[in-house]
Amino acid sequence: MFDRSEGFASLIGVMAERINEAFVFEPTCHVWTKSKQSHVAIPDDVKQYVENITP
């Protein structure tokens, strides 16, 4: 299910063909929105943080 490459030793990949169901992701917030790309649309009902989240 997971894969590592010598060229990208610090990354772990997920083999999409091993996932049975479609991956559904519902974000609860967006962080560092001050540097988001102009083409990225953030829904109005999702909380936004201009910079990092401080606990």
pLDDT per residue as tens digits for the range 7-33? 777 887 877 777 777 778 888 899 999
| 40 inside domain | yes
CB within 8 Å of 23: residues ≥ 6 apart: none
Confidence label for 5 from pLDDT (cuts 50, 70 and 90): confident
Better-predicted residue by pLDDT, 43 or 17? 43
Number of domains in the chain: 1
What mean pLDDT is predicted for residues 35-50? 91
Residue 31: give the domain boundaries: 25-55
What mean pLDDT is predicted for residues 25-53? 89
Tell me the two tokens of residue 47.
């909380």
| 15 inside domain | no
| Averaged confidence pLDDT in the chain | 82
What mean pLDDT is predicted for residues 2-8? 74
| 12 inside domain | no
| Contact (CB, 8 A) for 30 and 42 | yes
Q: How many degrees, rounded to 5, is the angle at CA 42 between CA 40 and CA 47?
A: 140
| 36 inside domain | yes
| 41 inside domain | yes
| 20 inside domain | no
